[in-house]
Amino acid sequence: MVCLDPGPGFRYTFPMMKFYEYSKCSTCRNAKKFLDRNSVKYQAIPIVERPPTRAELKRMLGHLGDFKKLFNTSGELYRELKISDRLKAGMTESEALELLSRNGKLIKRPFLLFDKGGTVGFKEDVWKKLPL
């Protein structure tokens, strides 16, 4: 393996934290206030108009473990599409990721992805422990 020294003055910057939100969601607004209060830099992305990519969902799955945790189970669209029944019938991870990548309202929010991890939902005591 070869490691090249980029030289003096070079500074590596990590990709900015991605904060997927739904503007009408009070939980998202509370999470955003938490990030702002703690001077955390992030890129706010509207989850409905620009849902996370399949690759981002897969990356989040690495932090959550179970793809079922990615779903917004209290959402109207979740009920309309009978996702619970589809999961019980054996929906695969691949099918779930494809569906989620096309339907931001199906994703549990807020959806926070950063270089050292990721999480969905907002509980302040949990977020205080994140390596932000």
Cα–Cα nearest to 27, from 132, 102, 112, 131: 112
**Residue-level pLDDT at 15:** 60
Q: What is the pTM of this model?
A: 0.85
CA angle 102, 72, 40 (to 5 degrees): 90
**Residue-level pLDDT at 17:** 93
Cβ pair 25, 75 in contact under 8 A: no
Give me the tens of pLDDT residue by residue for the chain, a chain 132 residues long: 333 444 555 444 446 899 999 999 999 999 999 999 999 999 999 999 999 999 999 999 999 999 999 999 999 999 999 999 999 999 999 999 999 999 999 999 999 999 889 999 999 999 999 988
d(CA 84, CA 110): 21
